[in-house]
Amino acid sequence: MNSLSAFKYFFLFFQHIFNPPIDSLKGINMVDQEGFSVRPYAKYQAWGVKMKSNNDALVLLPNVKYQGGVSLSYKGFTLSLAAGIKTPYEQTFGSTNEKALRLNYFGKRLNASIFHETYKSFFYTKPSEIDVSWAKGQRRPINEDLKMLQAGINLYLYFSPDYSMKANMHQSQKMLRSAGSTFAGLSYLKSTYEDPFGFIPQIKSNNFDTLNLLNKIATDSYLISFGYSYTWVHHQFFVYTNLAAGSGIQKQSISQFEIKKSNPAIPAKFSFFTSGGFNGKKFILSLNVFLENHYSFLNNSNLQNFFYSFRFNVGYRFGMQ
């Protein structure tokens, strides 16, 4: 049996356990709304890196809180283009250089995404611990040399034939009644954190024995996750909730300037997503809330990449009579 066949039977096994075939008397639970849709959006996001060791922690955030963009959807495919919105706080929090691209596919039961994001320049959330002379109102201590890359692929399969992710994510279908589904996912995530002068400020060096003097951490994570998703439907209104957790294997490549080594590890992943809105024949309106955490464990230290966002979408569907 090749790996593709094994993957297929793995998903069919869980589908049979958690979602037996529905009674044909129930009828169809969704209708197609396959027109080409354009959805401008506004987004508030907060994410960053947390380094923890010996009961001490450092949290660094990029100064990229607001985004404006547009999502283009057709027959399950969605392309999102976004740009950071400059804020009047660059003098306080610095200026982060951000580049991000994401391509999503949302089928009825199969979801896939490819993404590539890079960021440079982060500020510290507890400035008085980095600079003892810092006072409120002053410029935050900033690490302008820290670079971060996140790239990867996600693949999710929803087991229930009575459930539609097209209806939840870009409203190219409409569910006629409330339903839920278990799901499983496979993910590959590549993360790189690099600073030519080291991650840990000198004032904190004694508290971070594992991370101290490191100037590059690269991880390749292969993850499997499981979760449950439910959508409440009332006429053209919907509320969608999704919760998942997973783990897998990880290869860590660590550079301590001239010293380099590789370690195997077990990462962890947690995510929560909820969305609500109006799914009309031509008009689309939704509010999305998303939270996700990735954990990498390095001896007695851990590296946490966390993300949460609030996104407001309003759109119009073309090609619908």
Condensed to tens digits (0 to 9), the pLDDT of residues 218-254 reads 999 999 999 999 999 998 899 999 999 999 999 999 8
Identify the pLDDT of residue 231. Answer: 93
Scored b (16 or more CB within 10 A) or e, 288-297 reads bebebbbbbb
> How would you classify the pairing of strands 142-158 and 179-194?
antiparallel
Identify the pLDDT of residue 264. Answer: 92
Q: What pTM value is reported for the model?
A: 0.78
Indicate if the pLDDT at residue 289 is higher than 70. Answer: yes
Indicate if the pLDDT at residue 78 is higher than 50. Answer: yes
How do residues 196-218 score in pLDDT, each as one tens digit? 888 888 888 888 876 777 889 99
Among 99-103, 170-174, 180-184, 309-313, the range with the most confident prediction by mean pLDDT is 180-184
Chain-centre distance for alpha carbon 33: 27
- The residue ranges of every structural domain in the chain are 3-318
Percent of the chain at pLDDT exceeding 90: 29
Among 77-81, 100-104, 244-248, the range with the most confident prediction by mean pLDDT is 244-248
Closest CA to 80 of 96, 68, 66, 62: 68
Can you tell me the distance from the alpha carbon of 10 to that of 33, in angstroms, rounded to the nearest whole number? 31
Mean residue pLDDT of the chain comes to 82
How far lies 321's CA from each of 105, 187, 245, 286, in Å? 24, 38, 41, 22
Residue found by looking up tokens 């440079």 in the block? 120
Identify the pLDDT of residue 28. Answer: 55
Contacts of residue 248, defined as CB under 8 A and 6 or more positions apart, other chains included, come to 187, 221, 222, 223, 224, 266, 267
How do residues 7-64 score in pLDDT, each as one tens digit? 555 555 444 444 444 333 344 565 555 667 888 888 888 778 898 887 788 898 888 7
Identify the pLDDT of residue 112. Answer: 92
Q: What's the CATH number for 3-318?
A: 2.40.128.100
Indicate if the pLDDT at residue 188 is higher than 80. Answer: yes
90-117 mean pLDDT? 85
Q: Is 261 within 8 Å of 302 (Cβ atoms)?
A: no
Write down the H helix ranges in 163-298.
Answer: 165-169
Chain-centre distance for alpha carbon 56: 26
Identify the pLDDT of residue 62. Answer: 86
Among 146-150, 198-202, 296-300, the range with the most confident prediction by mean pLDDT is 146-150
Q: Is 219 within 8 Å of 251 (Cβ atoms)?
A: yes
SS3 (DSSP) at 169:
helix
79-108 mean pLDDT? 78
Q: What is the DSSP letter of 133?
A: T
Identify the pLDDT of residue 158. Answer: 94
